[in-house]
Chains A and B, each alone.
Chain A
Amino acid sequence: MSATIRRLAHLGLGLLISSLSACEGSDTATTGMSGVGSAAASATDGGEGASTGEDASGGDDGGSGSTGAPAEDDDPFDLNRENIRLLPFNVRLNRLSLLLDRPTDDPIFAVMLKRRYDLGDYDHAKGINPDLSWGSARMAAWVAALRPICNSAVMKERYPEFPIDLPELMHDAYGYTPTADELAPFLALFDGADDPDAPDQGGIDDKGTGPIDPLSPAARYELGCLAVLTSLEFVAQ
């Protein structure tokens, strides 16, 4: 396994590994996790079946009317922090729209709109209910829909160079300036990228601490962009 792959696996970016390894001809890690940062740390793998808040199927069976018992720990209701709560598709799309200052019907979002039902959107007239679970299929669809966005001129105009502009992207995407600890795993993706003394390739030790793979600058840019916009800080509540 290459150092890049190991670092991605450390970040929990299994899908990115899959998609990029296909390009780079590398072997594939299969962590199946997604997201980075604090939210990812508490996420269970995939999170299938997580509470969606959008139970359209009339899930009132468990309801006890207005006489419901209080939630645990004396909270008046239970946030159920253990489960990932993916933001509704329209909200995620809107966040991307605001990030890039482009309307949601801009061609840059064409793939995302085309795959909106794979991404959890709904159309009851077509029998499609909202689904805000965050499983491997949805993650793969999200990454696929993000790739044209990450590779767009619009993105590169706003955030021309990674890792220099990575903190700004994270700030704009998450709404806060990332701490050094939060930034570190992202920056690690670029370790040695600009080091003229770094070996071209190879020399990877078993701990994944060796020099980075020879990813092209474009692939490295895409990787950073996908990592930020696939994180739970961006896609989940």
Chain B
Amino acid sequence: MIRAPLVAGALALALGGCYSGQPAGGSGDGGATSSGAEAGSEASSTTAEGSSGGEASGGEASGSTGQPVDPDPLAELDRFTADDARHYLGTIAPMIVGRLLSESEHNLIDYFKGRGIAPVIEGWLEDPAFPETVRMMFQVKLSASGMTDEVNFELPGNLAAHIAREKLPYAEILTAEYCVDGGGAATPCDTGAPYAAGVLTTRAYLLANASRFNLRRARRMMYIFNCLAYPMDHVLQPPLEKLSLIEMFRAMTPDEQTVPEAQNGFGNGFACYSCHSQFGAHAQLFVKFDEQGVYHPEATGLQDPENELGRSQNGLFVSHFVDPVAAAQELSQVFGEPVADLRDAARVLSEHPTFYQCAARNTIEWTFGLSEAQASKTDLGLLIDLRDRLATLDHEPTIADIFRTTLTHPAVIDVVVGGG
């Protein structure tokens, strides 16, 4: 007898079906035309009735008590056939659990058809392979894996896998006050900073993204976790005052550029202020981390006159601020909110609505093997809907919640099965 995954079986019971875990009559390889499959169809409609007060559509119907009843959360999967479900799940299974569909998963699909997508994915999220998938996803996203004699580039992936395995809030990827060793145990992070901010305060992240003025550290942080690129909406990220910036970042036109080194269009053009008025606030958070990712409380953020533009002394990088007092501080602002340091900033990032939109986008990017440029074109409406669905949970979303919500969304399934 084939045993269904426990979670899937529980889900089936919750749905009111009579799934036994046995083959529904189909081979699991083709269309479900057997009597067992028909029984699955009945189960689906019964479930819809049972949970929606008699409306198979799963709308917000009222039962005999007149009390509002939650819509059937899986009703939107009813329009997908068993073949749709098999095609969709077969496409994404290797990227989520590193394998093909199992026989018991085929049975679930035969029995529940489109609704089978939910319990199959639920089972994956309990699979020991899932945290390892999350590890890979973050290793790739953060360009951090492996080890050198000095730096453990596995720390970000360890934390991501730990958060997934222990079902901790996804926000801990930015807010965890600890790192995780190869054995899964908490360990101090390796920067020497007096605080921790998840993966951001690992030498792996800081070293992999070291660049002059700390631009890359700031840019990747905003892009990876909030899917935001510069320049941002000024309402979202108020620009710094022009006169607070060092001279080269004040220019809006070539004529305004008075710094010789920047007169050839240093960086991405002449309109420095439009981006650096926002960059500056975020780059400032890294001013005390040197190019090796080590924290230096004595960092000044000032240009080393003997070094290239953007480099301070001792392997540190230059602040955007012209005031020497401000340049040496970690104080800054993110999304208009004052922050004391990188840890404080990470909290603000993780509490912003774009954080979960971005997590959903990253899930799509990983699952479907998209490039970042391709993923950046993901429809904003879908991402907002995913974020809103996550917001209905009675707890802080976990990584499993994000995968579940994203991968069971009908619009996501439609992309693979071609419109359902």
Contact = CB atoms under 8 A, between A and B. Distances in A.
B373 interface: yes
B373 A63 contact: yes
Interface residues of B, number: 63
B193 interface: no
Contacts of B378: 68, 71, 76-77
Interface string A48-81: 0001111111111111111111110001111110
A124 B139 contact: yes
B298 interface: no
Contact of A80 (B129, B136, B374, B411): B374
B246 interface: no
A54 B369 CA distance: 7
B258 interface: no
Contacts of B91: 237
12 contacts: A58-B209, A60-B373, A63-B373, A66-B228, A66-B354, A76-B382, A77-B415, A78-B370, A88-B95, A124-B143, A124-B208, A171-B29
B227 interface: yes
Given A76-B412, A124-B153, A60 B368 contact: no
Interface in A89-109: 90-91, 94-95, 98
Given A53-B371, A60-B372, A66 B357 contact: yes
Interface of B: 27, 29-30, 90-91, 94-95, 98-101, 129, 136, 139-140, 143-148, 151, 153, 204, 208-209, 216, 219-220, 223, 226-229, 232, 354, 357-358, 361, 364-366, 368-383, 411-412, 414-416
Contacts of A224: none
Interface residues of A, number: 49
Contacts of A129: 143
Q: Kindly name the residue among B30, B209, B364, B380 whose own CB sees the greatest number of chain A CB atoms within 10 A.
A: B380
A196 to B, nearest CB: 35
Nearest to B87: A176
A77 B140 CA distance: 20
Main SS at interface, chain A: loop
A113 B229 CA distance: 38
B146 A175 contact: no
A185 B209 CA distance: 49
A79 B371 CA distance: 10
A63 B370 contact: no
Contacts of B95: 87-88, 91, 237
Nearest to B387: A66
A66 B374 contact: no
A63 B153 contact: no
A175 B101 contact: yes
Interface string A128-143: 0110100000000000
A21 B140 CA distance: 38
Contacts, number: 162
B369 A123 contact: no
A233 to B, nearest CB: 11
Secondary structure at the B interface, as helix, strand, loop or mixed, is helix
Contact of B369 (A53, A59, A175, A177): A53
Nearest to A57: B143
B220 A60 contact: yes
A85 B416 CA distance: 14
A174 B94 CA distance: 11
A179 to B, nearest CB: 10
Contacts of B99: 94-95, 98
A58 B146 contact: no
A122 B379 contact: no
Contacts of B229: 60, 63-65
A126 interface: yes
Contacts of B226: 66
Given A60-B220, A78-B374, A85-B369, A65 B415 contact: no
A144 B223 CA distance: 39
B415 A63 contact: no
Contacts of A174: 100
A129 to B, nearest CB: 7
Contacts of B146: 123-126
Contacts of A58: 143, 209, 216, 219-220
Residue among B151, B227, B358 having the largest count of chain A Cβ atoms under 10 Å: B227
B140 to A, nearest CB: 5
B234 to A, nearest CB: 13
B370 A53 contact: yes
B226 to A, nearest CB: 8
B227 A66 contact: yes
